[in-house]
Homo-oligomer: A and B are copies of this chain.
Amino acid sequence: MGSPRQRLILAIILAVTVGAGAAHYAGAPSVLSFVVSGFALAGLAWVVSDATESVGRRFGPAVTGVLQSSLGNLPELFVVLFALRAGQVVVAETSILGSIFANALLVMGVVILAGVRHSFDGVMRFQRRLPQDTGTLLLLAVFIIVLLGLSVGSADPASGHRQAISNIGAVLLIAVYIIWLLGYLRSDAATESGAEEGSGFTFPVAIGLLAVGGVAAAFVSDWFVSALTPTLNTLHLSEAFAGIVIVAIAGNAVENVTGIVLANKGQSDLAVSVVKNSVSQIALFLYPALVLLSLLFATHLTFVLQPVYIGALGITALALWQITGDGEAYAFEGWGLIALYVIVAVFAYFE
């Protein structure tokens, strides 16, 4: 069950999480609800991060990364579904995009900085395989999105069938993602994950904490987001900014903290795996699945996006491939990714 210190921290996090729920259901002022659920999110992120590391000693980085990013992407799924049900298509779209940008640019950038700081020679090193795979997968999603954007932009006959094209594209993306995922998980069996230090939880406890932490993070994210909307109105911020920045950062707190903590401990491959899997899962599985699920609602989601976000997505895919595809990252590359995220946020602020 871990050390006494770990048990104390878990108790505090449990208390804060319960407090966030109470603030939400009791109708407390949104600012209070916002702050408490924010702390709860960060605490749950620590739980998931710590438990993931214990599990990672049993499996390789592949299984752990997929597990982790799946748990970490649950909040986004719920946020977008709630937004679509309420007919808020701009919030839904920008939340998905924002999750991609936050993971691929902001979190990846901070992970690189943490990894570089931990390295002995200013270079973070990791396996090239996963970044290359993520690059391939992202290019597939970018292909559909760019082609639809050009079709709609030039108002050609195909642009009248944007929903049908989006549906076919969604099925294709999910199919390729599942084929990739099966191969990726199978490859992990071969790698030997050197279980070095034995500081953490036992395997069953870790699995239990991962499950509980992931589900709780989903709930808390929801409370956090519903407390954000009134705050947004008070601060006169646009829906685009809320989706690209606030929901994106809040909804990805788990990947954020997990990735950075792992990189700080020198576990480069696991850190990269968490972030990369999150990005490709959102772009190749979550987004397409939401396109198909939205057919059940009155408001439909397609792959048609605003030109600025299409361009940002395309160059993000290229920059991520360029920077991480060679299995080495330098500090300036981490800062560069963060700068790209700031630029996207600036555009969203002015939209």
Residues of A that sit less than 8 Å from B by CB: 122, 132-133, 135-137, 139-140, 142-144, 146-147, 149-151, 153-154, 156-158, 160-161, 164-165, 168-169, 172-173, 175-176, 179-180, 183, 306-308, 310-312, 315, 318-319, 321-323, 326, 330-333, 335-336, 339-340, 342-344, 346-347, 350-351
Known: A172-B343, A318-B318. 9 other contacts (CB 8 A): A133-B332, A147-B312, A147-B343, A151-B347, A158-B351, A168-B342, A168-B346, A179-B335, A180-B336
Residue in B144, B175, B312 whose beta carbon sits within 8 Å of that of A143 in the complex: B312
Q: List 19 A-B contacts (CB under 8 A).
A: A139-B315, A140-B339, A142-B315, A143-B319, A147-B308, A147-B344, A151-B347, A154-B307, A157-B350, A164-B350, A165-B347, A165-B350, A168-B343, A173-B339, A176-B332, A176-B339, A179-B331, A179-B332, A183-B331
CA gap between A133 and B335 in the complex, in Å = 13
CA gap between A150 and B153 in the complex, in Å = 11
CB–CB B154/A346 < 8 A: no
CA gap between A343 and B137 in the complex, in Å = 15
CA gap between A277 and B322 in the complex, in Å = 18
Q: Which residues in B have their C-beta under 8 angstroms from that of A144? A: 343
Shortest distance from the beta carbon of A225 to any chain B beta carbon, whole Å: 24
Copies of the protein in its oligomer: 3
CA gap between A330 and B186 in the complex, in Å = 13
CA gap between A307 and B147 in the complex, in Å = 8
The 8 closest A-B pairs by CB, nearest first: A180-B332, A158-B350, A150-B307, A172-B339, A154-B307, A161-B350, A150-B311, A179-B332
CB–CB A139/B318 < 8 A: yes
CB–CB B176/A137 < 8 A: no
Chain B's closest residue to A182 (CB) is B332
Shortest distance from the beta carbon of A158 to any chain B beta carbon, whole Å: 4
Chain B's closest residue to A344 (CB) is B147
Shortest distance from the beta carbon of A139 to any chain B beta carbon, whole Å: 5
Shortest distance from the beta carbon of A57 to any chain B beta carbon, whole Å: 26
Shortest distance from the beta carbon of A25 to any chain B beta carbon, whole Å: 37
Chain B's closest residue to A180 (CB) is B332
CB–CB B336/A157 < 8 A: no
CB–CB B307/A153 < 8 A: yes
Interface centre among A146, A164, A169 (most CB of B within 10 A): A146
CB–CB B136/A335 < 8 A: no
With A157-B350, A179-B335 as contacts: A342 and B150 at CB distance below 8 Å: no
CA gap between A330 and B323 in the complex, in Å = 22
Q: Which residues in B have their C-beta under 8 angstroms from that of A158? A: 308, 347, 350-351
CB–CB B335/A175 < 8 A: yes
